[in-house]
Structure 1
Amino acid sequence: MTLDSRAVRSGSCRQARARSARSPGQGPAVRLVRRLPARAALAALALAAPPAALADDLTLPALTPAPLLTADRDAWTVWTQPHLFGDWGGLRPRLSALGVDVTLTGVDEAVANLSGGVRQTVQEAGQVGLQAKFDLQKIIGLPGGSFEVTLVDRWGGNLAADAGIPALQLLNEVYGRGNIVRTEEFAYKQKMFDDRFELSVGRLAFGDEFFSFSCNFVNLTFCGSAPGNIVGDYIYNWPVSQWAAVGKVNLPADLYLKAAVFDANPDYLGAKPSVAFWPSFPDNSQGLIVPVELGWKPKFGALLGDDTIGGWWNNSAAPNAATSVDGQPILVSGLPAQPGHGRYGFSANLQQMLVHDAANPDPKNGLYGFFNVTVADRRTATQDAQIALGVFQQGVGSRARDGFGVAVGGTQVNPNVANAQAQANVLGLGPGYVQHIEYATEAWYGWQATGWLNLKFDTQYVMCPGGYTAPNNRNAFVLGVRTTVDF
């Protein structure tokens, strides 16, 4: 967001604490169904089609589309079934019997800012994800082998950009990486040695494999793998994939050790179908990203835990985030950044079930607490740290698939960048503000309206968006609804 220099005065979150539309049109569920692209349906058929060499063994019987309602399939069944389109006229179970499991899920987030930014507006973004898992033991007799393909089609806009809110983290996390179809996963996976070792090779998303965290929340501070949230210029989360090889060793005492090699290549971010959609090999590799993660999945009686700690190293060239070639702040000298090599960081995710209802048949239902912290190197990262903590509930009384959550968190701008801004401001060359920490809070309730439809009612309050205060940068109060449909 471009700020009017006449209106901006220097300020920070710490100083502030001391001082103390567009119409969305149709409902999100209707838009989500209508946006389901024809190419996703065609891709589903292509993914499910067996190889020609196996056609004789895997020929599907003729399918007769099932009517929406029959004597045995009343209106109540339509609402309680797990998928909007049922078993796809019998196709889904037949494919599963042959070793092909297909899922099709849509997510839409409609959000509006009641305060913050330069205007009040409404924005909407969403995605449709198509995943096919091929059980190679069923298909070709390879024990422990599988092949997985995931395609993601995204659409919509960024509320923060539309409203003029300089947020460090997205207010509608589903937005991003282009309104195009991407191959999020294209990988061969093999379990061996009695499942003690797992190998994955192919196009993989960093955030799926390392420091993974659920996406129960709508603000990006509390969604997905944190390294990709703060250093997303070289670590890519869903739906961007990179060529990689991942090895995982399952150890005794519910421990595991995982390591990988990812291709560090900015071409993966491009919108060209030759790279984004097709699992090709872009030729602009800059080096390697090597992450390592130690995980522990403890069980204290019925209380489940999921803890990870680790780090990553990237050996590619990386300019200094704040200092120019002459040793002065970039904002002061106007010269190029100091060159260098190597970027790194550390991350830890702690999640523990705190309460479990013994009467609930689902062992995963209960109250969870979580604490996530991620730190990136200050030489190269503009955002160098993020902390998030909160609680969420899976299952609310007799409503086993409802839930709620509350979280608070902060994303820090590199102090080296902040110091450079302060020096430049003194000389009249800076932005007029100094960035420190953006604070986010969020609360939601998820209502499982039908077997296949979930509506999540969400509220966010972001203090010091962008990590600073200014007359035209007020705190942002955001309301939204996330719609999830399992087709």
Structure 2
Amino acid sequence: MQKLWTTIGGVGVAAALMATATLTNTSAFAQQRTDVGTTASPLTQSPTPALPLPNAGTGQGYFFNLRPVGEKIGKSLADYGIYVTGRTFNEEFSNVSGGLKRGSLYEGFTTLGFDLDMNRIAGIQGGSVHFLANDLNGLPFLPYSGSNYANNKVFSGPAASRLNELSYEQSFFDHRFDVRVGRVPTGTEFDTTDLYCEFVFSLCAAPSAFNGVRGYPSYLTSSWGLVTQTQLPKNFFFNIAAYEDEPSLATTGHYNWPGPDWGFDRARGVTIPAQFGYRTSYKNDPYPTTIDIGALYDTGDYSDPLQNSSNRNRGLFGGTAKVDHGKSEMWMQAQKVVYRPDMTSERGITLFVDANLITTGNPIIDDAFYGGFVWRGPFAERPNDKFNVSVGYILLNSDYTNFVNSALQKRGFGATSHGAETTVEVNYGLALAPGVTFKPFLDYIVNPDQVNVAVPSPNNTHVLFVGAAISVFFPETLGLPKLGF
């Protein structure tokens, strides 16, 4: 408990310092969700431009502009209540130092779908239907890095085409209360912000510590879920949800397309997250602030990090992992714009911090902490570029560390694992066109966690990746309208 309250105090001080300039001055109710539907998820949400996107020409530092290409057809479809959405993200990166093996690999992730405005289609005010499919291809980087929790942005298990979402959403009370139900990805409304998807490793769509504790499936597929979001007065909000845990969706079968796993017979529990926070935007605050605190409880089954089914050390005696039941965590986030070189655009520096603390159960992660900054428009002539830096620290469960040390001891090694993993990412998002970003990046991992590595190595002390990614958000790039309030 002393560790818990010390951490809460530290993050609380950071959050208070970030919020001081705005909490006392902002009181008007503000609706923060400018987009609804599939585009509201950090998985598919494009970076907000520092200036309104140009409809034609270049300007704003862009090298080309394809927005006129889809504008006419997009408006025609919107007249019928149909909004096409999607994105593609592709990355090539190489392990140039450390890790389990050197080499280069490619991964790609593409989504395509639509949002339906049920008010225009059927006269249901505030109603909408969302469909999103994705395709993941390429190789996982765990065999190269030996790090499971410093996962890359498109982490989702085997390469496959998946149903990412099929849901119905209904807003009430002038969009102050929102309910979303159906096949939905787990947790993209919790412990995350649009800043996290500026990074390739560890954070998007939510921090690794959130994904390591919540139940299956992966956030790039979906299971049955119910999500409610409430906008409260004076910029406060409250979200709560329930997601079915269905591990088989992450690894086998038809990857969430309609079939036998749409029943509840394969469910292994429920993940229930809740989050309360305060959030301002450039519409009502010159230096926007977000602060929130949340918690989740997962009722599902999971493998014990140390003991086998006979309650013995699995690292020494082998055997099948003991099955544990139930786990929970809490998190605290804060972010604030702290610097703006001019007040006519959204150029500036935003700081962020995040802490995840395990409260019950015995998952592999114990606690985790993240922080960094996003510098939008570092150069006046390039207002939509972004320079991004993040640092993460993941403390592993001592039982898991004991398991790895036992496995090393059994193989005759005297070395022991470190028990904590540190990650650093530096990247630069070069805005090529509206919705199109080229992003060279560098990721450095200290003491890779080696979770799910069949034969842990005592010599795997670091790994350095260099690479580049390119992303295209179809609505912004092609001038397609998005479903919004």
TM-score range, shorter chain: 0.7 to 0.9
Deviation at 1:154, TM superposition (A): 1.2
Equivalent residue in structure 1 for 2:400, among 417, 422, 428: 417
8 Å contact from structure 1 (residues 104, 129) kept in 2: yes
Query: 2:437 matched to 1:454?
Result: yes
Q: Deviation at 1:447? A: 0.7
* CA distance 1:175–1:335, change in 2 (3 Å): closer
Among candidates 381, 385, 390, match of residue 398 of structure 1: 381
Q: Identity of counterpart residues, as a percentage?
A: 20
Distance 1:230 1:414 in 2: 15
Deviates more, 1:335-344 or 1:301-310: 335-344
Give the aligned residue type for 2:232.
L
1:173-221 C-alpha deviation (Å, 9 max, x unpaired): 2243322111111111111122221111111112312222334444432
Matching residue's letter, 1:417: Y
Match in the other structure for 1:207: 187
How is 1:221-232 mapped onto 2 (pairs within 5 angstroms)? 221-226=202-207, 230-231=211-212
With normalisation by structure 1, the TM-score equals 0.75
Residues 193, 346 of structure 1: alpha-carbon distance in 2 compared, 3 angstrom cutoff: same
- What's the TM-score, normalizing by structure 2? 0.76
Structure with the bigger RCO (C-alpha within 8 Å, sep 6+) is 2
Residue of structure 2 equivalent to 1:306? 290
SS in 2 for 1:221: coil
1:30-53 Cα shifts (integer Å, max 9, x gaps): xxxxxxxxxxxxxxxxx9xxxxxx
Where does residue 73 of structure 2 map in the other structure?
91
**Residue number in structure 2 paired with 1:39:** none
Shift of 1:426: 5.5
The C-alpha deviation readout for 1:300-341, integer Å capped at 9, x for no partner, is: 831112222111112233443223455442223435444443
- Which of 231, 249, 263 is equivalent to 1:268? 249
Q: What CA deviation, in whole Å up to 9, does each residue of 1:427-467 have, x standing for no partner?
A: 66889632411111111111112234311111111111227
Q: Which residue of 2 aligns with 1:290?
A: 272
Query: Any conservation in 1 of the 2:215–2:270 contact (CA below 8 Å)?
Result: no
Is the CA contact 1:207–1:237 (under 8 Å) kept in the aligned structure 2? no
Q: Report the CA distance shift for 1:99/1:439 in structure 2 as closer, same or farther (over 3 A).
A: same
More displaced stretch, 299-308 vs 285-294: 299-308
Match of 2:470? Answer: 483
Corresponding residue of 1:258: 239
Corresponding letter in the other structure for 2:223: Q
Distance 1:337 1:82, change over 3 A: same
1:248 pairs with 220, 229, 233, which one? 229
Question: After superposition, what is the alpha-carbon deviation per residue over 1:355-399, rounded to whole angstroms, capped at 9, x for unaligned?
Answer: 23444334xx42111111113357431122221100111223231
For the 8 Å contact 1:268–1:276, the answer to whether it is kept is no
What SS does the corresponding residue of 1:272 show, helix, strand or coil?
Answer: coil
Shift of residue 106 of structure 1? Answer: 1.1
Task: Look up the equivalent residue of 1:151 and give its one-letter code.
Answer: A
| Structural RMSD (CA) | 3.2
* Unaligned segments of structure 1, at least 5 residues: 1-46, 48-72
CA contact (8 A) 1:267 1:275 kept: no
**Compared CA separation, residues 131 and 296, structure 1 to 2 (3 A):** farther
Letter aligned with residue 475 of structure 1 = H
Paired residues for 1:96-175 under 5 Å: 96-161=78-143, 163=144, 165-170=145-150, 172-175=152-155
Greater CA drift, 140-149 or 369-378 = 369-378
Using a 3 Å threshold, how does the CA distance of structure 1 residues 121 and 319 change in structure 2: closer, same or farther?
closer
1:13-32 paired onto structure 2 within 5 Å: none
SS of the residue aligned with 2:306? coil
* Equivalences, count: 411
Give the greater-gyration-radius structure (CA): 1
8 Å CA contact 1:180–1:271 kept in 2: the answer is: no
1:349 aligns with 2:329: no
- Alpha-carbon distance change, 452 to 301 in structure 1, aligned in 2, over 3 angstroms: closer
Which amino acid is 1:360 matched to? T
Question: CA separation in 2, counterparts of 1:277 and 1:483?
Answer: 32
Return closer, same or farther for 1:467/1:354 CA change in 2, 3 Å cut-off. farther
Q: Which moved more, 1:121-130 or 1:342-351?
A: 342-351
Task: Single out whichever of 406-415 and 262-271 deviates more from structure 2.
Answer: 262-271
| Aligned 8 A contact 1:453 1:485 in 2 | yes
1:183 equivalent in alignment to 2:163: yes
